[in-house]
Structure formats: structure tokens, C-alpha cells
Structure 1
Amino acid sequence: MPPRPMPPLPQESAIHDLVSRIRGLSPSCGPVRLVGVDGHAGSGKSTFAGRLAGALGGVPVLRLDDIASHQELFGWTKRLLSQVIGPLGRGEQAYYTPYDWRARAFGQPHPLPPAPVVVVEGVGAGRRALRPHLALLLWMELPAEAAWSRGRARDGAEQREFWEGWVEAERRHFAEDPSRPFADLLVREREEGYEVLAGPAGTAEPLSPLTDGDGPSAPR
């Protein structure tokens, strides 16, 4: 008699639940399920989005830092809609021009396929103009001052002047176009992994904690 498979560990079950939920959502932008990961700068969006994308089998991640620029920290809606949302909505491969923050210039077009799931991460991922195209919105639940402090420490003295301007710009953005009230799920960092809670939008139930031991699920 072949050995029976072992039941999944709790942490494996947790990431599997989130992945299953996302895959069970209806497409929100043409054939694509767009999953937004928003939060204050320095709140851990990039790390979480990368782990989520890996658990989903290596799906594409669009980082809004590639869409924004020094001149348009938050005024990039038209560029996102024309370069990314429009083509994906038609089931076509999108091409966006990533911004080089050191060279202060946009680069060559980068492809973004209409994959079954695309993760969009960055400050403003849950903005008003993007929400109708999202299948799910996640908010990194870290207070602004704590996130900004961590971001400043991460970027060092070289970016001190940039951070002074960024904080004021981010305050204005979220005052005029908040994302958190529309989040389906809140994500909190823990000593090991993450805790996922129901968000203010009330459209999704909380999940059991996600830990760093969560292995990626098989691609589908």
C-alpha cells in the first residue's frame, strides 16, 4: 500500500488559502486578475508582493516605482492606464517604460503579459482610478511614521532630501485619494511571516497567519 500523503502544515495551508482565493476570483482587467498591494512607503509592500507572486507560481509583478517619476510622484494615472491597464483589458501584452530614479529618465519598453494574475505593488495601488480594475486590494498595515522611518533607514543619507518631499506628497495623496478604506484585506508583519485580516471594505474574510515557511504552490 503506498504511503498516505501527510496533511499540510498550518503555514502551508495559510498561503495555499490566499493563493486559492486569488485564483478563484473573477478576472478584473480583461483576462487578468489584478491584485493590488498598497501601503505607506517603507511598509514592506515590495517584499510581500514578491513572496505572494512566488507563491502564485511566479506571476508578474508591476512595481509602481517604475511608473512614477521625480516630476510625477503621484500624477502617473494616465500613463498607467494607457501603457498597462488598456492593453491588459483587451487581453494584449502591455509595454511600459520603467523609470530610472538615478538617471531621472524613462527606459526602454518592458513587456507585461496578460497573465491570469498580475500583482501591482506600490503607494497608490489602490487609488480611485485603479480600483475598478482590481480583483483584490491588500493594504500593508503599518502606521505611516513607522513605515517612513524604516524607509529612511533603508535608503540612507543619500535619499534624505527626496524623503522630505516624498512624505508631504504621500500625505496629500492619501488625504485626497485614500486606499485603506477600500482594502479587502489588511496585511501585518509578524516576527515570522504575516498576518492577514479582514479589511475595511468587508468583502473578504481574514486568513490564518502566513509565515516565511510557506512554500510556493504549483503553477497553474
Structure 2
Amino acid sequence: MSWVNLAEEIRSLPPSCGPVRIVAVDGPGGSGKTTFAGRLARELDAQVVHSDDFPVPWDEPPAAWFTHVEDRILTPLAAGEPGRYRRYDWVAGRYAEWVDVPVAPALILEGVSTARRAAPIAYAVWVEAPRGLRLARALARDGAHLAAQWERWARAEDEWFAADATRSRADLLLDGAAVPGEFVRLRT
């Protein structure tokens, strides 16, 4: 499947949240979700909302951030109104700029627990990669000093994904260990 075909398939779906088709790009940390979501957003001419834009302490479950998305983005979109949220700056340790989320044909939610069972998802993508590769990517991005936190986070992700059965409900399974910018389908 090409990027064009995937975008056409998503555009052909009925809206799932008011007039918007919500596309969830989910999977464990470091699997390649952000890269995939960015490329798909260009093809769909859609905005990406990243789970990393919301403050969630390391000791909270991976799904804790989603109430912000429900309150500030999904509820307004369901009513046909634009959403808005304040991005969290992890480096500065405080909230940064406001981000507007207009009513549009498609919106991509990217991050751990975006394809949750109870979310108004039109299309769910699951991206996976071997645990060692994911950890290496995360530590290269965030710093080796966070290794212990990333190990705890990975265990919490495993628990979340098992409880929510996220992978088994995905419309598209992808190999995130493939060449960046390309996607290798595991199954549909």
C-alpha cells in the first residue's frame, strides 16, 4: 500500500468525532509512531496531536494524559467546534504555547494509548519494533540518564496494551524497525 492509497482509504471512512476522522497512531515508546504520523499527516494534510504535548509524570499510567485530549480536543470536535490545548514543554518543565485544533476532515492522535477502546477512532495504526531498538531510540532522543524511567514506562505500557487489547484492534499493523519514512505492513 502506498501513502496515497492509505490517505485515500482514510478519507473514504465516515467521520468518527463530529465531522472529523480521528486516526490513532499507537504503539510502545520508541517504535516509530512520530515518524509515521508526521508522514501520514503530510499526505492527509492533517494536524498531529502528540501525547508528548501533555504532562504525565513517569509514575502515572500511560493512559493518564488522555483526559486532556477528551476535554480539550475530542469533546469540542464532537460538537463541531475547534479544540485547543496548551502544549507542555518537558525541557522547561512548564506549559508553553496554546495549540489550536481546527475542525478538519482528519486529525491524527499520536502516542501511547491513542487507539484506546473507548476513543472515537475512525482508523487505528499500531507501530511496533523490538524492545531493545525502542529503548535505544528513546535514550538517544531523551538521554541515557532516563534509562530506569524508560524501563518502568515500558512495563507500564505492556500492562496498558494487554488490558486494552490495543494491537488486536488496529486496522493496520506496522513494523517500526523498517527504514524511516517507509512502512512495512505486518497485516491489516
* Distance in 2 between residues matched to 1:74 and 1:168, nearest whole Å: 13
Q: CA RMSD in A?
A: 2.1
* Distance in 2 between residues matched to 1:29 and 1:68, nearest whole Å: 24
Cα-to-partner distance string for 1:134-185 (whole Å, 9 max, x where unaligned): 1100011323343223322332224334323322322332232231011011
Deviation at 1:188, TM superposition (A): 2.0
**Equivalent residues in 2 for 1:106-121 (5 A)?**
106-121=95-110
Paired residues of 1:126 and 1:137 also in contact (CA < 8 A): yes
- Give the number of the structure whose residues are more often helix, by fraction: 2
Task: Structure 1 unaligned segments of length 5 or more: list them.
Answer: 1-12, 200-220
Match of 1:144 in 2: 131
Task: Structure 2 unaligned segments of length 5 or more: list them.
Answer: none
Deviation at 1:197, TM superposition (A): 4.1
Deviation at 1:89, TM superposition (A): 0.6
Paired residues of 1:77 and 1:129 also in contact (CA < 8 A): no
Deviation at 1:108, TM superposition (A): 4.2
What secondary structure sits across from 1:18 in the alignment? helix
Rate the CA distance shift 1:178–1:149 in 2: closer, same or farther, 3 A: farther
Match of 1:44 in 2: 32
Match of 1:100 in 2: 89
- Which amino acid in structure 2 is aligned with residue 25 of structure 1? L
* Distance in 1 between residues matched to 2:131 and 2:164, nearest whole Å: 15
Alignment of 1:135 with 2:122, yes or no, is: yes
Match of 1:183 in 2: 170
* Distance in 1 between residues matched to 2:65 and 2:128, nearest whole Å: 24
1:196 equivalent among 171, 178, 185: 185
Match of 2:147 in 1: 160
* Distance in 1 between residues matched to 2:165 and 2:88, nearest whole Å: 24
Match of 1:83 in 2: 72
Deviation at 1:68, TM superposition (A): 4.0
Deviation at 1:195, TM superposition (A): 1.7
* Distance in 2 between residues matched to 1:141 and 1:163, nearest whole Å: 16
What secondary structure sits across from 2:15 in the alignment? coil
Paired residues of 2:127 and 2:174 also in contact (CA < 8 A): yes
Match of 2:112 in 1: 123
Deviation at 1:34, TM superposition (A): 0.5
Alignment of 1:18 with 2:41, yes or no, is: no
Larger gyration radius, structure 1 or structure 2: 1
* Distance in 2 between residues matched to 1:167 and 1:38, nearest whole Å: 14
Paired residues of 2:123 and 2:171 also in contact (CA < 8 A): yes
Paired residues of 1:35 and 1:118 also in contact (CA < 8 A): yes
TM-score scaled by structure 2?
0.87
* Distance in 2 between residues matched to 1:161 and 1:109, nearest whole Å: 31
- Give the number of the structure whose residues are more often strand, by fraction: 2
* Distance in 2 between residues matched to 1:150 and 1:180, nearest whole Å: 21
Q: Which runs of 4+ in 1 moved over 6 A?
A: none
Paired residues of 1:68 and 1:74 also in contact (CA < 8 A): no
What secondary structure sits across from 1:109 in the alignment? strand
Match of 1:56 in 2: 44
TM-score scaled by structure 1?
0.75
